[in-house]
Chains A and B, each alone.
Chain A
Amino acid sequence: MELKPIIPFEPVKTDQIPEGKQWISQVKWDGVRILTYNDGNRVRLFNRKLKERTSHYPELLNIQSYCHAKSVILDGEVIALGADGKPSFHEVMRRDGIRRMERVGQVRKQVSIVYMIFDVVFCDGQWINEFKLADRIEILSDIMIPGENIQLVPSFSDGNTLFEAVKKQGLEGIVLKDLNSKYAINGKDHRWQKKKNYRDLIAVVGGVTLRQGIVNSLLLGLYDDEGHFCYIGHAGTGKLTASDWRELTEKIQPLVVSERPFINKPQRINEAIWLRPVITIKIQYMEWTEGRSIRQPSIQAFVDVSPEECIFETL
């Protein structure tokens, strides 16, 4: 039997923490969403866009070592810790972003990953997505054997306390889930809600500035409802290393254009070099200002998202 990859359940954004006994909260781990499919013969990994990731994470392929079930679909987040011991999106992208597969063996030695598993959708030949979350969690804890690369995401009863702890530890946020909820394949609704500690978005690079011939900041944009490319701010700090900046400087050469791609005028316009909006990047930021720009943006990592998908999101 072949298990066809599914689009996972997504939480909606919230600012409030819902009240009531049916709500549990879990840490929102900052990594890449990966579902594991074991049809009994073969283990395959897919991300939420249904792109295959099987050869990216060889650590997860020996499924008998961490899961009793004969066949299973597991849902979780693959994370990698940074030097500060906190999940780092930049680090996990060093694995997830590999396109020349012969490099996996070598990068694996430098970046180890942990699979934070929080749900099970299929188990021992049966779809259990219609089961209540409480039952799925019970099944999950029965079939899983946590280890070095495999952890179960614990559930907590008090969302407020967990959120305070998450803030203290500098983690991404929490996800609140209704214990009575079914697993909505390709769904996104209020039965799963996320409350973020820090905010992030994926923006398109529409220009750069240089210092001594090397890129030192990115001019970022998003598309609005009418398809206009709008400038939202510039970012020069974050996770990029000196050699990342140098590589970027070469990568942008074929993208240079003479006309400004943004509909509105950015600051720093005099020194800017305009680019065809192609490169996409994950940015962490504090908040939006009234003029539709972001405060204190910090670069996380380049991502493989098509520019058209980078739009203003309504909360």
Chain B
Amino acid sequence: MHTMWKGSISFGLVNIPIKLYSATEDKDIKMRYLHSKCNNPIKYEKICPVCNEKVEQEQIVKGYEYEPGKFVVVDKEDFEQLAGMKNKAIEIVDFIQLEEIDPLYYNRSYFIGPGENGGKPFKLLKRAMEETGKIGLAKITIRSKESMAAVRVYDKGLVMETIYYPDEVRNIDHVPGIDEDFAINDKELDMAKQLIEQLTTPFEPEKYKDEYREALLDLIHHKISGDEIKVAAERPKTNVVDLMEALQASIDQTKTASEPAKTTTKKRKTTKKKEA
């Protein structure tokens, strides 16, 4: 697994070196945009519409539009200064119960693995959290964005879920029609509850799969095998046995040139293996 971030978990005076790994992956099939005339990937150019010229990467700065058409430039040093305030730590500020966080708050999941010399304290923290049934609420800075996160026990290790700040979660009151009142009679309610009971099963994630993706993959494979013959024809047929024979020929050549062949037991074994 690819390390995404190196740092430490800190709480109180304890500091545990850790590494983060992405816990989930997006399996969407990546499509590229092609020029329909020639099937080559198109290329994006950055152009300034005012100067009417192509803009190179090093000529680009970031700016904040504080009123239409007016910008303040926030340059690299500004960002670095802000990021410099934070140390590279997941700082656990409180321990709470998992149920206290509504799933709505969860954003992304990362596996936490021990960093260099962090094996033991890592295990210790995991055991302690397991036995108290608590999860850690932490502050973390990844890529100059500060987030809240929940650190919890998962299977044989720990995971960290970044969670939204309360002001990033929208207010449910703003959903149209949510406050309208209706009279509901008991018969209707019972029927709905019965239906739920009938459809209730244990959660088995293996049961579910992305059928759209499978269908798309199928389609792609069909298209590929359509011109498979063409691809195969382009590749020259080479064989490692040819190469090994060429090598043996070179050896024999060298030998006859320099000295009479030394036949050894090892040589015999080699031949035996080739015939096997």
Contact = CB atoms under 8 A, between A and B. Distances in A.
A41 to B, nearest CB: 20
B243 A110 contact: no
A124 interface: no
Contacts of A155: 266, 269-270
A151 B57 contact: no
Contacts of B250: 164-165, 168-169
Interface in B233-272: 235-236, 238-244, 246-248, 250-251, 254-255, 258, 262, 264, 266-267, 269-270, 272
B175 interface: no
A111 to B, nearest CB: 9
A169 B221 contact: no
Interface stretch (B150-158, B186-194, B198-206, B224-232): B224-232
A258 B76 contact: yes
A157 B269 CA distance: 11
Contact of A162 (B2, B29, B228, B251): B251
Place the interface of chain A in its size category: 35 or more
A116 B240 CA distance: 10
Interface residues of B, number: 43
Interface stretch (A79-87, A224-232, A261-269, A286-294): A79-87
B224 A106 contact: yes
A141 B76 contact: no
Contact of B221 (A24, A105, A114, A157): A105
B247 A146 contact: no
B209 interface: no
Contacts of A169: 243, 246-247, 250
B242 A85 contact: yes
Nearest to B44: A250
Given A154-B270, A157-B266, A169-B246, A83 B236 contact: yes
Given A83-B236, A114-B240, A165 B276 contact: no
A185 interface: no
Nearest to A179: B266
A109 B232 contact: yes
Nearest to A158: B262
A65 interface: no
Nearest to B275: A146
B37 interface: no
A137 interface: yes
A161 B255 CA distance: 7
A18 to B, nearest CB: 15
B270 A156 contact: yes
Given A151-B241, A154-B273, A258-B76, A273 B58 contact: yes
B240 to A, nearest CB: 5
Contact of A154 (B221, B232, B244, B262): B244
A105 B274 CA distance: 30
Contacts of A100: 27, 30
B177 interface: no
Residue among A84, A166, A168 facing the most chain B CB atoms (10 A cut-off): A168
A130 to B, nearest CB: 21
Contact of A256 (B57, B232, B262, B272): B57
A144 B255 CA distance: 29
Nearest to B2: A304
B251 A79 contact: no
Interface of A: 24, 27, 79, 81-87, 100, 102, 105-106, 109-110, 114, 116, 137-138, 141, 144-146, 151-152, 154-158, 161-162, 164-166, 168-169, 171, 243, 246, 253, 256, 258, 273, 304, 306
10 contacts: A81-B240, A85-B243, A86-B243, A116-B240, A146-B274, A152-B276, A158-B262, A162-B251, A164-B250, A168-B250
